[in-house]
């Protein structure tokens, strides 16, 4: 089964795949080339997960700053 593109993964899917990658790398039963490919994907998944978490945290902060108003403003992760 082909891997999903990073941008199509949910936060939970990213973490699950990252956990699987770590387990595979810790076992040490795969080739160097496969290990490097997994490591590279793991880094990308880690970055994606951090960005999604930052976005969610910022949305919560915006909600709290708006005194509980239930409107969300878009947040640009790259701003700032």
CATH C-level class of 9-65: mainly alpha
More reliable by pLDDT, 27 or 71 = 27
DSSP element (H, E) containing 18: helix 11-27
Share of the chain above pLDDT 70, in %: 84
**pLDDT tens figures, 23-55:** 999 998 999 999 999 999 999 999 999 999 999
Average pLDDT estimate for 50-77: 79
Closest alpha carbon to 47 in 80, 74, 9: 9
Let me know if 14 is exposed, middle or buried by CB neighbors in 10 A (0-12, 13-18, 19+). Answer: buried
What is 21-59 written as a DSSP string?
A: HHHHHHHT-S-HHHHHHHHHHHHHHHHHHHHHHHHHHHH
Total-model pTM: 0.71
More reliable by pLDDT, 73 or 66 = 66
- The pLDDT score that the predictor gives to residue 59 is 87
- The pLDDT score that the predictor gives to residue 3 is 77
Measured distance CA(68)–CA(36) in Å, rounded: 46
């Amino acid at each position: 089964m082909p891997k999903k593109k990073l941008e199509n993964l949910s936060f939970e899917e990213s973490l699950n795949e990252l956990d699987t990658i770590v387990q595979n790398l810790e076992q040490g039963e795969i080739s160097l080339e496969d290990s490097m490919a997994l490591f590279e994907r793991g880094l990308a998944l880690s970055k994606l997960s951090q960005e999604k978490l930052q976005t969610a945290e910022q949305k919560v902060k915006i909600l709290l700053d708006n005194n509980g108003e239930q409107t969300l403003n878009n947040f640009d992760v790259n701003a700032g």
